[in-house]
Amino acid sequence: MAGSRGEFLLILCTTCDNAHGARKVAARCPRCGSSLTCSHKILKECNSATELQKLVMLRNMPEELRDGFHRMLEKKESAKIHKKIDDKRIWPKLARKCVNNKGEIDLQEFKNELMKNNQESNVNLVLEELSYQGFVLKSGAESWMLLE
């Protein structure tokens, strides 16, 4: 097999045509119990258990379902990679920019600052997180004070 050796192996039992994974070649097939010393084929090597799990699942799936399911998995992985995560480190700085002359955070201005900085979290959830971290204190039903 070409390339670097992976930690995990995708193994095919030629007796029952079932694929399974292992860290090293197993002595028996987990499906049919046949000895794998002569009746196995290493299909692929990989470096993560997650990748191995997907490969086993796809290999044991009926052929007519594989392509569609593989595309669905790729789409899901792509969405996971491109999902935007707010940068909580800038929240205290943004809150400081929105303090009025009473020392309270102007909620509408803070909401606008969050949007300008591509933060998708709800303004109330951001304020609760900042309160938990000790940056702000709730001073009324709709008012928050910045602690400095």
Domain residue spans of the chain: 8-82, 88-146
More confident residue, 42 or 84: 42
Residue 1: which pLDDT band, with cuts at 50, 70 and 90?
very low
* Residue 3 pLDDT: 43
pLDDT (tens digit, 9 = 90+) per residue, 97-115? 999 998 899 999 999 999 9
* Residue 91 pLDDT: 94
- Measuring CA to CA, how many Å separate 110 from each of 39, 89, 120? 66, 15, 12
Pick the CATH number of 88-146 from 1.10.10, 1.10.357, 2.60.120, 1.20.120: 1.10.10
Buried-exposed string 34-60: b where 16+ CB fall within 10 A, e elsewhere: eebeeebeeebbbeeeeebebbbebbe
pLDDT (tens digit, 9 = 90+) per residue, 113-131? 999 998 988 999 999 999 9
* Residue 30 pLDDT: 86
pLDDT (tens digit, 9 = 90+) per residue, 15-72? 899 998 888 766 788 888 888 776 788 899 998 888 898 889 889 998 888 888 878 8
* Residue 140 pLDDT: 87
pLDDT at 2 over 60: no
Task: Give the Cα separation of 64 and 67 in Å (integer).
Answer: 7
pLDDT at 132 over 70: yes
DSSP class of 18: E
